[in-house]
Amino acid sequence: MQNSDFDIAEIIEGTTKLLVPRESITEIVPPKEPAFFNPRAKLNRDFSIIAYSAFLKNFDGPKIFLEGLSGLGARGLRVSNEIKSVEKVVINDLNPSALEIAKRSARLNELKNIDFSENEICRFLSDYSKKGNRGTIVDIDPFGSPSRYIDCGIRATMHGGMLSVTATDLQVLHGLFQNACKRRYGGTPIKVEYGNEIAIRLILGCIRSVAGRLDIEFIPLFVESDMHYYRVYLKILNRPDQEENLGYIIHCKKCGKREVSLEKKTNCESCGEKNHHAGPLWIGKMFDKKFLEQMLDETKNFQVDKTCERVLQKCILEEDMPGTYYTLDEIASRLKTSPIRLEKIIEVLHESGFKASQTCLNPTGFRTDADIEKIKEFF
């Protein structure tokens, strides 16, 4: 079926003109033919633009962007058009109709630094896996789990470069299919109020396991949770990771005590009940403060949603906070009372000598080094 058989519309994201199926804009569920395009994922692409720009400004070397699963190429087209320091963009997809529309979008924007590839993603990335030919930034944005592409994604990322990975199999990552999660990510979740953080840490844990096998270290720079997807941005370093950064989140469902640990603990130290365990998963930091500040600085240079700035400000505050967060509803439910204002509980925790901050992962969530009993007391 030819592109002419479909009704194609022109939209603008950032400063880039994109050709997309008209039904992607008018229908609640975007169609898959001739190619899937989700306009509600604009925020996700906005974050990518400022993250990639911030990263490339401080990268000394060739600036090559590889997009393995491009669809209509919205992200790659925006990178090519909006980030002036990029020298070369290559977008790849197996759907020839999607690539044809992407090529038309490239001509519409008069882009000269972009190439197109029609190939299976790992075959595409293997062409860029040799030293001297790797990508500065490698982007993997699949439907569902990225786990099958992590190996080839790491191999195609140059030393000191960035690997960006999306996961959209939320039901698996949130514990509806425990066996599938263990197969894909090497660990299992538990159903708790901070389930999206566990999901992100499972993704990072999976990448850590693959990277460890390849004698590769990575540093998480930024993680994002919005709607139907999770996305992580990592700096890849061609050296073995010496840190013990795989472990467990231990949670007591009776009293609400939780902790991050290298080892499992059978019983809760507070109430004696049997603990629940999520993992193995990543127990290290999820953010890099300097990089977050650079991203925040980049927001003024691009036409991106104001949400980007608000989210990054929260990320900066929580960068050095303990793993796992609490929610107002969770504490109020345990005390059988109404929630208090988020600003108020953070203020009280600070006044009592504890660290506390909002979290970018939940609008009513907060991080603190106070234990659950102290938090209940302050409520």
Report percent pLDDT > 90 for the chain: 94
> In this predicted model, which residue has the larger pLDDT, 29 or 293?
293
Burial 273-297 (b: 16+ CB within 10 A, else e): eebbbbbbbbbbbbbbeebbebbbe
Average pLDDT over the chain, rounded to whole?
Answer: 96
What three-state secondary structure class fits 17? Answer: strand
Report percent pLDDT > 70 for the chain: 99
What three-state secondary structure class fits 112? Answer: coil
Query: How confident is residue 5, by pLDDT bands cut at 50, 70 and 90?
Result: low
Q: Please report the pLDDT score of residue 2 as a whole number.
A: 45
What three-state secondary structure class fits 305? Answer: coil
Q: Tokens standing for 150?
A: 């992590």
26-30, 35-39, 116-120, 209-213: which has the minimum mean pLDDT? Answer: 26-30
**What distance in Å separates the CA atoms of residue 122 and residue 114, rounded to the nearest whole number?**
20
pLDDT in tens, 52-73: 999 999 999 999 999 999 999 9
Q: Please report the pLDDT score of residue 3 as a whole number.
A: 47
**What distance in Å separates the CA atoms of residue 367 and residue 357, rounded to the nearest whole number?**
5
Q: Tokens standing for 127?
A: 């062409």
For the residues 114-139, what does the mean pLDDT come to? 97
> In this predicted model, which residue has the larger pLDDT, 39 or 28?
39
pLDDT in tens, 261-307: 999 999 999 999 999 999 999 999 999 999 999 999 999 999 999 99
Of 62, 67, 49, 91, give the one whose Cα is nearest residue 160: 62
Q: Which residue has the tokens 């989700």?
A: 38
Enumerate the domain spans of the chain.
3-247, 325-379
pLDDT in tens, 183-236: 999 999 999 999 999 999 999 999 999 999 999 999 999 999 988 899 999 999
In 51-170 the beta strands, taken as DSSP E runs, fall at: 64-67, 88-92, 114-117, 135-140, 157-167
**What distance in Å separates the CA atoms of residue 196 and residue 174, rounded to the nearest whole number?**
7
The CATH number given to 3-247 is: 3.40.50.150
pLDDT in tens, 127-186: 999 999 999 999 999 999 999 999 999 999 999 999 999 999 999 999 999 999 999 999
**What distance in Å separates the CA atoms of residue 113 and residue 277, rounded to the nearest whole number?**
48
**What distance in Å separates the CA atoms of residue 366 and residue 341, rounded to the nearest whole number?**
11
What three-state secondary structure class fits 136? Answer: strand
Q: Which amino acid is at 244?
A: E
Q: 38 phi and psi, to 5 degrees?
A: -110, 105
Q: Please report the pLDDT score of residue 360 as a whole number.
A: 97
Rg of the chain in Å (alpha carbons): 21
CB–CB of 116/90 below 8 Å? yes
Q: Please report the pLDDT score of residue 207 as a whole number.
A: 98
What CATH architecture applies to the domain 325-379?
Answer: 2-Layer Sandwich (3.30)
